[in-house]
Amino acid sequence: MTNGYQKAFRTIFDANLTTFITAAILYWRASEEVRGFAIVLLLKPTGLFGREL
């Protein structure tokens, strides 16, 4: 069980990091409407909107 959680953490961390980088690029390069989406995308991995489990 512990081994499974350790492997899952690595995958979840990678997915959140990739999302953060993508959202930062969107915010930096996009129009105003897309910047709003990028902000929401940046806040989602922080758990601001709740947890999925």
Instruction: Give the total number of structural domains in the chain.
Output: 1
Give the separation between CA 36 and CA 52, rounded to whole angstroms.
23
Higher pLDDT, 32 or 53: 32
Decide if 9 is inside a domain.
Answer: yes
Domain enclosing residue 19, as ranges: 2-46
Three-state helix/strand/coil letters over the chain: CHHHHHHHHHHHHHHHHHHHHHHHHHHHHCCHHHHHHHHHHHHHHHCCCCCCC
pLDDT tens per residue across span 1-30: 777 777 788 888 888 888 889 999 999 998
pLDDT tens per residue across span 31-52: 888 898 898 888 876 665 555 5
Decide if 52 is inside a domain.
Answer: no
Decide if 13 is inside a domain.
Answer: yes
Decide if 40 is inside a domain.
Answer: yes
Decide if 51 is inside a domain.
Answer: no
